[in-house]
Structure 1
């Protein structure tokens, strides 16, 4: 996992040293439970009750590693097989990250999420625009088609506050403490991986395990 902790917004890559493997799913499995991924305890908590296999990226617009992972996440989303859906959960780990979580839900509500998701990462980390405060975030979205006053109203609404509260509880249930992290079907959480390429490959492998386990 490429961790940005609750304390440091831009931390060095963490989790690169492998831990001792707890057990292997099979002798030929390319990844080890307890090492590259963790099997979460039941009951499994999902984002939605759709019935599809769920791939969730836990991220933050304040996380430079999430910005670096964004192209890989796009590739992963496009490559998922039928019956699998890709979702995002913004991590509200600290006061500096909460405005970005609010921005995610406001952008989604206003229908500008798809056109601004990657652009916000680029503006903040590639172009080094000052996008940190509520006002700066609102200015960014206003420049990309959102009504500024409406954006602020939605971002600060009780509905969005409830989303953030629920997300924090979900991430605690999943044991997520860094970003980007991927959770598959509320059952598997990625752990110690070395590269973004490996993170994508691991996710696809976990998805296949879930699809294979579904009733025929």
Structure 2
């Protein structure tokens, strides 16, 4: 079990690592995206994948989450959104596991609540014990949570998330990859959450080609 001091250190490191940053330095002029060259393959054949790279410790990811929820409701039928949790250091891996555990438990509704718990209620959900105690208050069986959290399936998805972050060279969150061909972010879109999603909309037709 991690000591309170270690948890504070890991939390501080996670918050520092998830600053509002993206590969904007690679953009030219007023261009609000960067091309991915060579393009990366999709895990969903026949669909335009929009990957949102996020971290639960990132306040900007928390702020943009309601906008992402609204955006996906009106996305074109050939577009699929996949949210990819990022770990910039070893202390953030449990947060990746938490996301995929929520999906495995069929409780995606708790995704946004994790942001609220961390950023709005200042709960220290940085290890399995704290997460399990919190999720039990959300009507999830604690024993089932513990089992799924450490399952092979969740570990495999965490590994895939890390592979994607490496492949896309993710330097900060939130960042959006469109169709394996383009990358954008709020920073690149004029420091605007709304602007980033508008840029995603603009890139989708380009990604189809």
Q: TM-score range by the shorter chain?
A: 0.7 to 0.9
Q: 1:96-140: per-residue Cα shift (whole Å, max 9, x none)?
A: 211111011111111112x20111111110121222221111122
- Relative to the length of structure 2, the TM-score reads 0.83
**Contact 1:59–1:181 at 8 Å: present in 2 too?**
yes
* Counterpart-to-counterpart distance in 2, 1:116 and 1:50: 28
1:158 Cα shift?
Answer: 2.3
Matching of residues 118-197 of structure 1 within 5 Å:
118-191=112-185, 192-193=188-189, 194-197=191-194
Structure 1 runs (4+) deviating above 3 angstroms are: 10-20
Q: Structure 2, unaligned stretches of length 5 or more? A: 1-11
CA RMSD of aligned residues (A): 2.3
Give the TM-score normalised by the residue count of structure 1: 0.81
Query: Are 2:9 and 1:13 equivalent residues in the alignment?
Result: no
Distance in 2, matches of 1:144 and 1:15, equals 33
Change (3 A) 1:209 1:149: same
Structure 1: stretches of 5+ with no match in the other structure: 1-5, 23-30
Identify the structure with the greater helix proportion. 2
2:85 maps to: 90
User: How much does 1:159 deviate?
Assistant: 2.2
Question: Which of 204, 208, 211 is the equivalent residue of 2:205?
Answer: 208
